[in-house]
Structure 1
Amino acid sequence: MQPSSATTFGTARRTQLFDELLALFLSEGFAHLTLDDIAARLRCSKSTLYTLADSKDGLVVAATVHFFRGATAAVESQVAAVDGARERITTYLAAVGRALDAASAQFMADLGAFGPAREVYETNTAIAAQRVQELIADGVAAGDFRDVHAAFAGELAATMMVGIQQGRVRAATGLDDAAAYRELAAILTGGINA
């Protein structure tokens, strides 16, 4: 059964609003914005926003989930396009960094200060760390990497990824999240080469 054109339009409009909401949050952050501000900026009514979520907090969480869902799909499509363990890990971490390039410092600060959205970031960081561990294990099994303990190397990556997510790396080094992911890729893959 095909969806009606009204349903298709509703879904398309909803996706468009999420994209616009996300673009607004990524560029300016969200803590300072009220529902009235958001509605005015997106040229919609507050009742339209309530079709996306039941509160501003809900909008923030939904937009954060939308961001990470899109970023994950983009990252994985880039990884699928390359061969070799080193290239896959480098591509993965660099793509994560590029995905975070879209996020302003204000968005990242607001994300860190708002528990429910921070939990989304933390969950996605944990998933990404697990993915790096899988890529390392694949590389060891293929002989592309020396026989490192994949769980240890993955935990090393996870520790750095959490440090990046929590802002400790930025504070200590001045590197933004995207640049830190690129550095992690270079160090990690250089250290485990066969």
Structure 2
Amino acid sequence: MVPPVSPAHATARRAQLFDELVTLFLDEGFAHLTLDQIASRLHCSKSTLYTLAGSKDDLVREVTVHFFRSATTEVEAAVARATGTTGRLTAYLTAVGAALAPAHEQFMEDLAGFPPARDLYERNTRAAADRVHELISEGVAVGDVRDVHAAFVADVAASVMVRIQQRAIKAAVGLEDSQAYLELAQLLTEGIGR
């Protein structure tokens, strides 16, 4: 008789599969992959994939959620280690760029072309712009940075972040998303610095 799988083991295996799916999708994109191909790459059965999501579209959405949730944790950890407003803002935007750095061009194109995943990216971009606003407002309140109109600066940042997300920066100037976030961090911190 086979012993039952413990809930902790099942949860760990699920997390491992999602991590492997994120790596696969970041490396190759996802639009061209079938569930059979994904199962083969992960050395699991299709039925195992169906325990994660009911269809390929649902799986892509769940993997995208997992990716952004993990990235948010890493980004906020970087902010927590930083000091001062410009340090925290730089840490935030640099960490966002670092989270996107492993994403192959195909992944970014597939993300932009698949509405549920694109919507998640857009929501995360809006949340990132809100976080930039919060960091700048905190810095202005304590006198750590110039007394700038935090909402305006955050709106400018949001506009650039949306253009990054929509691949417009890549098309216009050739910067990958991760590199564009680094440039944005430098621009903002120098603009609000004393």
TM-score, L = length of structure 2: 0.97
The AA in structure 2 aligned to 1:83 is T
Q: Distance in 1 between matches of 2:141 and 2:102?
A: 35
- What secondary structure, in the 3-state scheme, does the structure 2 residue paired with 1:145 have? coil
Number of equivalent positions: 191
- Mapped partners of 1:10, 1:95: distance in 2: 30
1:38 deviation in Å? 0.5
Partners of 1:75 and 1:142 in 2: CA distance: 23
Q: How far does the alpha carbon of each residue in 1:102-144 deviate from its partner, in whole angstroms, 9 at most, with x for none?
A: 1111100000000000001000000000000000001111212
Structure 1 residue identity aligned to 2:138: D
Unaligned runs of 5+ in 2: none
Aligned equivalent of 1:142: 142
What amino acid is the match of 1:115?
P
For residue 29 of structure 1, what is the amino acid of its counterpart? Answer: G
Please give the alpha-carbon distance, in whole angstroms, between the structure 2 residues aligned to 1:136 and 1:128. 12
Of the structure 1 ranges 169-178 and 143-152, higher mean CA displacement relative to structure 2 is found in 143-152
Task: Indicate the residue corresponding to 1:131 in structure 2.
Answer: 131
In the alignment, what sits opposite 1:193?
193
Give, as a single letter, the amino acid of the residue that structure 1 aligns with 2:13: R
Seq. identity, %: 61
CA–CA distance in structure 2, aligned partners of residues 35 and 150 of structure 1: 46
* Aligned structure 1 segments of 4 or more residues deviating by more than 4 angstroms: none
Partner of 1:109: 109
Cα deviation for residue 193 of structure 1 reads 1.2
- Give how far 1:5 is off: 6.2
Q: Does 1:41 align with 2:35?
A: no
Deviations 1:37-62 (A, max 9, x none): 00111111111100000000011000
User: How far off is 1:147 after superposition?
Assistant: 1.0
TM-score scaled by structure 1? 0.97
Is residue 2:173 matched to residue 1:183?
no
RMSD: 1.0
Runs of 5+ unmatched residues, structure 1: none
